[in-house]
Amino acid sequence: MQSFEGKVAVVTGGGRGIGGSIAKALAARGAKVAVVSRSEASCGKTADEINAEFPGAAKAYALDVADHDAVAALGKEVVADFGGVNILVNNAGVTRDGLLMRMKEEDWMTVLDTNLKGAFNTVKAFMRPLMKAEDARIINIASVIGLIGNAGQANYAASKAGLIGFSKSVARELAGKKVTCNAIAPGFIRTDMTDALSDDVKAAILGKIPLGEFGEVEDISDMVVYLAGPAARYITGQVLAVDGGMTM
Ligand SMILES: NC(=O)c1ccc[n+]([C@@H]2O[C@H](COP(=O)([O-])OP(=O)(O)OC[C@H]3O[C@@H](n4cnc5c(N)ncnc54)[C@H](OP(=O)(O)O)[C@@H]3O)[C@@H](O)[C@H]2O)c1
């Protein structure tokens, strides 16, 4: 099994769903994990579950990734707590779906601030320790919607397409320091986010997935483990779709 012994990972949106699976997968392989989410209850639960199995492997940090100053403070706190950072996973994300005719400015801003500015904030906060670390990794969780768009998700699509462009630019800027930066574009993965969709919408999506089933959170955390490990040392600036063939 891939070992992340001696490595420190920061996982935003680590309280639930895909981020919870990523935090647990990295901790199970020996990493110390800073679990970040909006609510203390949520990141605290993931950290408690990890610590129950791997004592001292996780610490919870509750904050809004859209808050630039709070994330800058997080950068200092995580380095003080764990001594450095090797892996940054930007996974925190939200949806505020609606057709453009009805979409409010607030729906646009919340999604862009969380999904896109949140990643800017964390990269700024952790850039120095990542550049100091050996073979550091930045992994951004985008979406197939950022590649193909979706009616009713203009804000979300823009945030995820922006995250992809951001990832490629970060990859170019940090390549000289051997920090890689890649994006994963999940398709439809079973989580609270997708459970909220109606049965009609789910059935329509299922019809567009060649492999004929929805993905599980482990499909994404397995890809994060791969990208964070040494086998992916020569991969940077890429978008890896994990989507059952939706976007082929
Ligand atoms: N599920 C899918 O099919 C799918 C497909 C493509 C891409 N994605 C992307 O994958 C990521 C995870 O999705 P998911 O389905 O696991 O979502 P989820 O179940 O709704 O969980 C989202 C996590 O992000 C955290 N979060 C949201 N806003 C935040 C903020 N402003 N500051 C800090 N943390 C915040 C939440 O914190 P709390 O727990 O405290 O609320 C939660 O832990 C998202 O970026 C999403 O866009 C998901």
The tens digit of pLDDT for each residue in 177-187 reads: 999 999 999 99
Does the residue 2 lie in any domain?
Answer: no
Give the integer Cα–Cα distance in Å for 197 and 81.
39
From residue 90, how far is each of 87, 120, 200, 204 by CA, in Å?
A: 10, 9, 30, 28
Does the residue 185 lie in any domain?
Answer: yes
From residue 98, how far is each of 19, 94, 102, 111, 148 by CA, in Å?
A: 25, 13, 6, 12, 17
Q: Per the annotation, where are the binding residues?
A: 13-16, 91, 156-160, 189
Does the residue 247 lie in any domain?
Answer: no
Give, using CA atoms, the residue closest to atom 44 of ligand 1: 93
Does the residue 22 lie in any domain?
Answer: yes
Give, using CA atoms, the residue closest to atom 17 of ligand 1: 193
- Ligand 1 test: best mutation among 12, 16, 112, most atoms within 8 Å of CB? 16
Distance 153 CA to ligand 1 centre (A): 15
Query: What's the structural domain count of the chain?
Result: 1
For residue 226, indicate whether it is catalytic: no
Token reading at 32: 């110390």
Does the residue 215 lie in any domain?
Answer: yes
DSSP assignments along 132-150, one per residue:
HSTT-EEEEE--THHHH--
pLDDT at 116: 99
Does the residue 25 lie in any domain?
Answer: yes
CATH no. for residue 66?
3.40.50.720
Instruction: Output the ligand 1 site: residues, CB below 6 A.
Output: 12-13, 15-19, 37-39, 42, 64-66, 91-94, 114, 141, 143, 186, 188-189, 191-194
- Contact status, residue 146 vs residue 157, Cβ threshold 8 Å: yes
Distance 209 CA to ligand 1 centre (A): 22
From first CA to last CA, the distance across the chain in angstroms is 30
Distance 176 CA to ligand 1 centre (A): 31
Sites in the chain below the pLDDT cut of 50: none
Question: DSSP label at 35?
Answer: E
From residue 199, how far is each of 69, 104, 117, 202, 204 by CA, in Å?
A: 40, 25, 32, 5, 9
Give, using CA atoms, the residue closest to atom 22 of ligand 1: 13
Give the integer Cα–Cα distance in Å for 207 and 50.
36
- Contact status, residue 131 vs residue 138, Cβ threshold 8 Å: no
Q: 208 is in which domain, residue-wise?
A: 8-241
Q: Per the annotation, where are the binding residues for NADP(+)?
A: 13-16, 91, 156-160, 189
From residue 81, how far is each of 34, 85, 110, 213, 232 by CA, in Å?
A: 9, 10, 30, 41, 27
Nearest to 10 by CA among 159, 124, 176: 124
- Contact status, residue 153 vs residue 110, Cβ threshold 8 Å: no
Atom of ligand 1 nearest to the CA of 39: 40
- Contact status, residue 143 vs residue 160, Cβ threshold 8 Å: yes
Does the residue 248 lie in any domain?
Answer: no
pLDDT at 218: 98
Distance 194 CA to ligand 1 centre (A): 10
pLDDT at 126: 98
Does the residue 246 lie in any domain?
Answer: no
